[in-house]
Structure 1
Amino acid sequence: MKNIKNKLFVLLLTFTSTFALGQSAEPIQGGSPIKLIVPFTPGTGIDTIARAVGPKLSEILGQPIVVDNRAGASGNIGTEAVVRAKPDGTTLLVTVNTIVMNRTLYPKASFDPLNDLVPITLAAYGDLLLVVPESSPYKTAGEFVAAAKANPGKLSYASPGVGTPHHLAMEMLKNQTKTFILHVPYRGTAPAVTDLLGAQVDAMFLPIHVGMSYIKANKLRALGIGAKNRNPNAPTIPTFTELKIGEVDAQMWFGFMAPKGVSSEIVNKLGNAIRTSLADPEVRKTFLLQGLDPATSSPNAFAELMKKDAVIWAKTINEQGIKAD
């Protein structure tokens, strides 16, 4: 299924690129700089996407592209900056599905991502792996879950912080398997991985490009992948559905958005330019090296995905009693 999706993606981008490049792409707002706000720190998957797409987008539109990292509050600070920006196409958000998780985690936020932002296009998907230290006694996901059931609260797992996809993926697994595994939140991925490697915690969900580097070095062991299908970058790692453990689909998505009120003409122009950028071989290579699966969508399809995921994650967050503080 994933191979079919990739082939369709390539065909779609080939058509889009040919169409878009065959026209003169007029600058947005007379060529004023376009700011890509990344609501997380440099070096994250979202930052990689913004910095890979930026130069090609600048070339297509003929105007400067600036990447602006505004981290904090699980992405809410940078997101709010875009919500409050003038809807003229010169301030865009490069985001991840954390944005719909935050909708439930931060009910008092001053904005609603489903109503106060306009989706432009998806950019990529990313998968999460459940990993344990190589020294762990658990060789399979089944053994890990069985141990968690037999010893409630004895096993622990790390995350880069409350409300991150890493955190909520494990909470989805816990909800599916009716287990209690102690959450140990860290301030970022690096310290969490350090303690995982030292077996100070028992497990963690990690993005595939992070996890595979340690798996290949025989420092971590993968027990399963939180997606509907296996990932071609890790074809031997089974899904939790295959393992009959549960429907753990914690796949991350990334995309571009604009402030509410932006014209459909600008959305279409930006969408065509971004999709053409995503078709560039060097951009695709950068994505794939980071374990990101390039993707595009129409604004409407992106909006529907956000609505669907908002419901799925709200269920997990509410049933698990997760609070942002």
Structure 2
Amino acid sequence: MTPPTTTPHGLRRRAVLGSALLGGLAASVPAWAQAAAAAPIRLVVPFTPGTGIDLIARTVGPKLAERLGRPVMVDNKPGASGNIGTETVVRAAPDGATLLVSVSTLVMNRSLYPSLPFDPLRDLVPVARTSWGQLVLVTHPKTGFKTAADLVAHAHKHPGRLNYSSPGVGTPHHLSMELFKNTAGVFLTHIPYRGTGPALADLVGGQVDAMFLPIHVALGQIKAGRLVALGLGSDQRHPLLPDLPTLAEAKAGNVNVDMWYGVFAPKGTPEAVVNTLNTELKTILASDDVRRAFEPQGMDPSHSTPQEFAQLVQRDAERWARLIQAQNIKAE
């Protein structure tokens, strides 16, 4: 056996190899981030263009490309309540080149569609939360309700007389009202529609009594006097409606139905890659122009570590699973 070399060249070679072993993980990140232009990062949006999730991807994407020196493209893959696009990412190579931009419906679907060929908790890695969105409980002026407590009192006195609309079974609007009903101990009849547009139209037209709506969708109708805001389904008030109390403040139940938005990677994506993406997203989300882009959609930029985001996703999956089981809700 040839003995180890002790020449200066050999010493330098061993020093280089030692440094490579110690810093190999860190060194792999720049190599990934600066990958060839032929391999862009793909941000998969499991919904149609023009949605809030699509806005996140199209706002963050160019900034991520600039910071990583690597092309970033948005790929809309709608269908099956977001499950088609999600499965695309689950099946992708865990190399950081395919990412999912999604919303809290991701974990709602886990219980609504128990036969899914994937599990978002098991098959995806949370990278970072990007924002929060709030839902507001609204009613038609003809009901005469001024607060959420008024609605609860009426529903207790006249069970089944009130109804509410949603864009469909299993949507955040639907599950939020079911959580509200469950917490307040009241019953309202669910009238599902095919999309937010017709559900909102019948609410504004007075055919429906109440609904949970994203704050940016409800705001114009509230200001025009066509709808009355009863309470915000959050732990804190929102700057767009600073005088509107939360449902807890309105004595209508401690109900938080905030929607989170965030980025996920396929299971097995290297931790170093996840951490690099998380760090870059933190810087991007702190910029004023991102805030200005998000605000019209009622979203507030909000960053988290991968670990914090994973904990949030787990908690939300568990609480929506309990509600879906308790209310025997089944996807259409």
TM-score w.r.t. the length of structure 2 is 0.87
Give the corresponding residue for 1:311. Answer: 318
Give the corresponding residue for 1:78. Answer: 85
CA gap of 1:142–1:150, structure 2 versus 1, over 3 A, is: same
Q: Is the 8 A contact 1:28 1:90 kept in 2?
A: no
Choose 142-151 or 224-233, whichever is displaced more.
142-151
How far, CA to CA, are the matches of 1:291 and 1:246 in structure 2? 23
Of 263, 270, 273, which residue of structure 2 is paired with 1:263?
A: 270
Choose 111-120 or 308-317, whichever is displaced more.
308-317
Give the corresponding residue for 2:237. Answer: 230
CA gap of 1:28–1:144, structure 2 versus 1, over 3 A, is: farther
Q: Which runs of 5+ in 1 are unaligned?
A: 1-22
Find the structure with the greater CA-based Rg. 2
CA shift at 1:279, angstroms? 2.0
Q: Is the 8 A contact 1:25 1:61 kept in 2?
A: no
CA shift at 1:189, angstroms? 1.1
Give the SS at the match of 2:309: helix
How far, CA to CA, are the matches of 2:78 and 2:166 in structure 1? 17
**What whole-Å deviation, never above 9, does each CA across 1:110-166 have from its counterpart, x for those lacking one?**
111111000100000111000112333222212211222222222111111111111
**What whole-Å deviation, never above 9, does each CA across 1:189-224 have from its counterpart, x for those lacking one?**
111111111111111101111111211122111000
1:25-44 paired onto structure 2 within 5 Å:
27=33, 29-31=35-37, 32-44=39-51
How far, CA to CA, are the matches of 1:134 and 1:305 in structure 2? 36
How far, CA to CA, are the matches of 2:112 and 2:145 in structure 1? 32
TM-score w.r.t. the length of structure 1 is 0.89
Write out the 4+ residue segments of structure 1 that deviate beyond 3 Å after TM superposition: 23-26
Give the corresponding residue for 2:10. Answer: none
Q: Is the 8 A contact 1:46 1:94 kept in 2?
A: yes
CA shift at 1:29, angstroms? 3.8
Give the SS at the match of 2:303: coil
**What whole-Å deviation, never above 9, does each CA across 1:171-206 have from its counterpart, x for those lacking one?**
001101221211111222111111111111111101
Give the corresponding residue for 1:291. Answer: 298
Q: Which runs of 5+ in 2 are unaligned?
A: 1-28
**What whole-Å deviation, never above 9, does each CA across 1:251-299 have from its counterpart, x for those lacking one?**
1000000000111121122222222221222111111222211111111
- Which amino acid is 2:266 matched to? P
1:236-247 paired onto structure 2 within 5 Å:
236-247=243-254
How far, CA to CA, are the matches of 1:193 and 1:170 in structure 2? 15
Measured on the aligned residues, the alpha-carbon RMSD in Å equals: 1.7
**Aligned sequence identity (%):** 55
Give the corresponding residue for 1:103. Answer: 110
CA gap of 1:154–1:297, structure 2 versus 1, over 3 A, is: same
Tell me if 1:200 matches 2:216.
no
- Which amino acid is 1:239 matched to? T
Of 52, 64, 70, which residue of structure 1 is paired with 2:59?
A: 52
How far, CA to CA, are the matches of 2:106 and 2:312 in structure 1? 12
- Aligned residue pairs, count: 303
- Which amino acid is 2:280 matched to? A
- Which amino acid is 2:68 matched to? L
